Amino acid sequence: MSKPPRQLSPLEIKFNAWIEHHLQRVPVMQKILFVSHLKTMVKAGLSLIDALRILSEEIENKKLKNIIADVKDGVEKGQQFSEVLAKYPKIFPSIYVSMIAAGETAGKMETALEQVSTQMKKNHELTSRIKGAMMYPAVIVIAMVGISVEVVVFILPKLLIMFKEFDAQLPLPTRILIAITDFTQNYGLWMLAVIVLLVLLTIRVLKEIKVKRVTHAVNLKLPIVGSIIKKINLARFTLTLSSLLESTIPIIDATRISSDVLNNVIYKETLVRVAESLKKGEALSDILRQSPNIFPPMVTEMIMVGERSGKSESMLRELAEYYGNEVDTTMRNFTTIIEPIIILVMGLAVAGIAVAIIMPLYSLAQNI
């Protein structure tokens, strides 16, 4: 007979729950599949509770499985679907909860789930474009740093040991290289610890809202990088606002919710102020026109055309598609621009090491 499974202690249960809650992630594709499958089941005539029960059994991700089961229990107790989803803002951000809530109010749950699924896919596509474009430079930089550390720690000490025995004055590049190598060998671990502490401290400081506000404002003014940041935030803003307006969410709430999906604090705070100004009856295009540094004339003019023609959603969709393509093109160009810079830096580093090693050998050969 097989042994019965060991019962976990209360401490082990709490530890596993903590890991699941804080460390285990829910991939975006798992969330997209969940919403897509839920839409399909509801469209096929299944009740929301039955669909959630089936999905809670089929989903592979343990964290999402437990969340769906909890959502099902909440709906069974009479709570609104959107109300239960709102308990998990890190898994289901406010934009999706609001779209589903609007669908519940209008009695169009299937349409709401379709819109949420589409919005998730578009957001994931935009994020994938950005990450994909940054992958190549990141790999090159990491490889360059790794090779540099290997050369300084393992290779150069063996090559430079003979130069230390020279009676003659060594060239300045060679002395600098020996000093760097000796310092790395003697204080390498301390230097690594200091770098790690500085990185952690910098991350902590950058989370402060006052510091974040300043750094994000500076980022928008940087050459090349500033343009990319603006296009990314404009793409997300127009995409989110168009989806929310299509879900019949009031423009004030839609604008406020749109601010939540943006990464740049300047855009976030501006949209919060825009939402407050909308309460006074001002037009969205007129309010955005007051911030020309972050909302270009093309954005405000197209929104104005949409407002006057009653086609704001379609105009915002066109803007979202335009800026999505612009982000894709700009990121590709950014990779093309940064590649020769990385190669140049690597070339200069190799040339510097070569000069520092060859110069004393050349002097020694002349003396002989």
Q: What is the CATH number of the domain that holds 350?
A: 1.20.81.30
> What is residue 167's predicted lDDT score, i.e. its pLDDT?
62
238 contacts 319 by C-beta, under 8 angstroms? yes
Q: What is the pLDDT of residues 2-11, one digit of tens each?
A: 455 556 555 5
User: Is residue 267 predicted with pLDDT exceeding 70?
Assistant: yes
pLDDT score, position 345: 82
Helix, strand, coil fractions of the chain, as percent rounded to 5 = 80, 0, 20
**Could you tell me if residue 242 is inside a domain?**
yes
- 323 and 179 assigned to the same domain: yes
337 within domain boundaries: yes
pTM to 2 decimal places: 0.73
Residue 355 or 299, more confident: 299
Question: Residue 164 has what pLDDT?
Answer: 65
> Do 139 and 47 share a structural domain?
no
Query: Per the domain annotation, does 100 fall within a domain?
Result: no
Q: What is the pLDDT of residues 195-234, one digit of tens each?
A: 999 999 988 888 888 898 999 999 999 888 888 889 889 9
What is the pLDDT, as a whole number, of residue 135?
79
pLDDT at 60: 83
The predicted pLDDT at position 112 comes to: 86
Residue 257 in any domain: the answer is: yes
**End residue of a domain, out of 92, 127, 150:** 92
Shared domain check, 153 and 15: no
Average pLDDT score over the chain: 83
Q: Are residues 124 and 249 in the same domain?
A: yes
Of 19-28, 282-291, 339-348, which gets the smallest average pLDDT?
19-28
Residue 111 lies in a domain: no
> Nearest Cα to 258, choosing from 275, 272, 245, 241?
241
Residue 16: band (very low, low, confident or very high) from pLDDT cuts 50, 70, 90: low
Mean pLDDT confidence for 352-359: 79
**Around 17, how many Cα atoms within 13 Å sit in the side-chain half-sphere?**
8
Residue predicted with more confidence, 274 or 261 = 274
Residues 161 and 295 in one domain: yes
- Of the candidates 249, 295, 252, the one whose C-alpha atom is nearest the C-alpha of residue 272 is 252
3-state secondary structure of 93: coil
What does the DSSP 8-state code read for residue 152? I
pLDDT the model gives residue 122: 83
Whether residue 55 lies inside any domain: the answer is yes
Query: Which whole number is the average pLDDT over 151-175?
Result: 73
DSSP 163: G
- pLDDT above 70 covers a percentage of the chain that reads 90
Expressed as residue numbers, the domain containing 50 is 10-92
Do residues 77 and 136 share a domain? no
Of 92, 108, 132, which one is at a domain's C-terminal end?
92
Pair 88, 124 in one domain: no
Domain shared by 161 and 195, yes or no: yes
Residue 141 has pLDDT above 60, yes or no: yes
For residue range 117-136, what is the model confidence (pLDDT) as tens digits?
888 888 888 788 777 777 77
Cβ-proximal residues to 302 (8 Å cutoff; 6+ apart), any chain: 315, 318, 319
More confident residue, 367 or 277: 277
Domain count, the chain: 2
pLDDT at 332 over 80: no
Which of 219, 184, 187, 229 lies closest to 326, judged by CA?
229
Q: Is residue 113 part of a domain?
A: no
Q: Are residues 82 and 122 in the same domain?
A: no
pLDDT in tens, 23-82: 467 888 888 899 899 999 988 888 889 999 999 888 888 888 899 999 999 999 989 999
At residue 1, the pLDDT reads: 44
